[in-house]
């Protein structure tokens, strides 16, 4: 679920470097591509409305929101995390950091994240909607 709280970046606690992480988040907001947002810029009410407008009836939607310690995220090391893009149309985390931060700021943030990946507990935030609909005729 986005945006993340101010003290989180990619699920990790960044309260010790929140000033630097805020620059990264701000830069991402500045360069966000509306085409990329189309993949995530809707909610469960929009899904139901789209199904109704397309003539589907009945419509059933289940929404699951989970906020939990994300042990599965521990399998990702820092170098892998930096080369992940939140979606195919967005920059990688490494590209974003290079655009948003100076070298000393990157080093400070990456040092903090390395410790968090090794010792911290990331928080996994997900929202998944399951839509089932039928069209008669």
Local confidence pLDDT in tens for the 137 residues of the chain: 356 788 888 888 899 999 999 999 888 888 876 665 556 677 899 999 999 999 999 999 999 988 877 655 555 788 988 998 877 778 898 999 999 999 999 999 999 999 988 887 777 777 889 999 998 76
CA distance 128 to 135: 23
Strand residue runs (E) in 70-121: none
Any idea how long the chain is? Answer: 137
Q: Is the pTM of this model over 0.75?
A: no
- Nearest-angstrom CA–CA distance, 86 and 36: 10
Q: Name the residue among 90, 84, 135 with its Cα closest to residue 113.
A: 84
Dist. CA 49–CA 91, nearest whole Å: 31
Query: Would you say 123 and 116 are in contact if contact means Cβ atoms under 8 Å apart?
Result: no
Residues 6+ apart with CB under 8 A from 125: 1, 2, 4, 11, 66, 67
Strands (E), 4-135: 8-9, 12-13, 59-69, 123-133
Task: Please choose, from the candidates 65, 92, 89, the residue with its C-alpha nearest in 3D space to the C-alpha of residue 10.
Answer: 92
């Amino acid at each position: 679920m986005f945006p993340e709280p101010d003290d989180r970046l990619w699920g990790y606690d960044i309260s010790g470097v929140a000033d630097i992480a805020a620059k990264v988040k701000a830069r991402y907001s500045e360069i966000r591509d509306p085409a990329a947002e189309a993949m995530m810029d809707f909610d469960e009410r929009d899904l139901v409305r789209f199904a109704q407008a397309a003539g589907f009836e009945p419509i059933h939607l289940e929404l699951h929101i989970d906020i939990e310690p994300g042990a599965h995220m521990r399998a990702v090391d820092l170098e892998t995390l930096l080369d992940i893009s939140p979606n195919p149309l967005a920059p990688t985390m490494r590209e974003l950091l290079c655009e948003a931060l100076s070298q000393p700021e990157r080093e400070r943030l990456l040092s903090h994240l390395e410790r968090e990946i090794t010792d911290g507990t990331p928080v996994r935030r997900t929202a998944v909607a399951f839509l089932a609909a039928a069209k008669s005729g």
